[in-house]
Copies of this chain bind each other. A is one copy, B any other.
Amino acid sequence: MNLNYPNGKKYKPKELPIDASLKKRKNGSYSNRGMTLEEDLNETNQYYRERKIAVIHKKPTPVQIVQVDYPNRSAAVIKEAYFKLASTTDYNGVYKGRYIDFEAKETQNPTSFPLKNFHQHQIEHMEEVMDQGAICFVILRFTKFEQVYLLEAQHLLNFWNRMMNGGRKSITKEEIEQKGYHIPLGFQPRIDYIKIIEQL
């Protein structure tokens, strides 16, 4: 039976945005093809917020605004702006009162994770928040295998320092498997990193 509103308008079950995004996936499978790591994490964070598990947001892209036009009767238009280098990581928020901070990166490289995905400012930020007792980590995705890992920031810093001391400019996949935690891709949430955090 189709229900109508009293005004005759058809009743349509409200679709959650989270379901809408699932449509993007081919063949009705929950495969990750076509979803970026950022989209998966946005979906995951929305899931956490809706269920009051944690409140984590991606920070807006930092932009240096140079020129803004104010046309009559319409919204201000930014006519000239430049991307700025982020001075922090992209994601932060709260889980059971604790401060959570992380960066998420993906690579096409099948065997190692290039450290050029991070920059000095972010590494320093991670050190600072760890000093303050934050839960800090990175989420790394090998896109070829759709494999996602959580690596605690302390390990990333060790690999970073190895590079700064003349060592290799990447983390091998083996090292990530050894020091990090594999996060199996799920349906809802897609990348259940809080589950790993709970165990740490």
Contact = CB atoms under 8 A, between A and B. Distances in A.
A77 interface: yes
A11 interface: no
A95 interface: yes
A131 B57 CA distance: 16
A55 B98 CA distance: 14
Contact of A78 (B49, B54, B82, B101): B82
| Size class of the contact patch on chain A | 35 or more
Given A49-B128, A79-B80, A83-B76, A97 B61 contact: no
Contact of A55 (B59, B63, B129): B129
Interface string A98-138: 11110000000000000000000000010011011110000
Contacts of A131: 52, 55
A92 interface: yes
A124 B63 CA distance: 26
Contacts of A99: 93-94, 97-100
A17 interface: no
A78 B79 CA distance: 7
Nearest to A93: B99
A60 interface: yes
A60 B57 contact: no
Contacts of A129: 55, 93-94
A101 B92 CA distance: 11
19 contacts: A55-B129, A55-B131, A57-B88, A59-B59, A60-B60, A61-B65, A63-B65, A75-B82, A76-B82, A76-B83, A78-B80, A78-B83, A79-B80, A94-B129, A95-B132, A96-B132, A96-B133, A98-B99, A99-B99
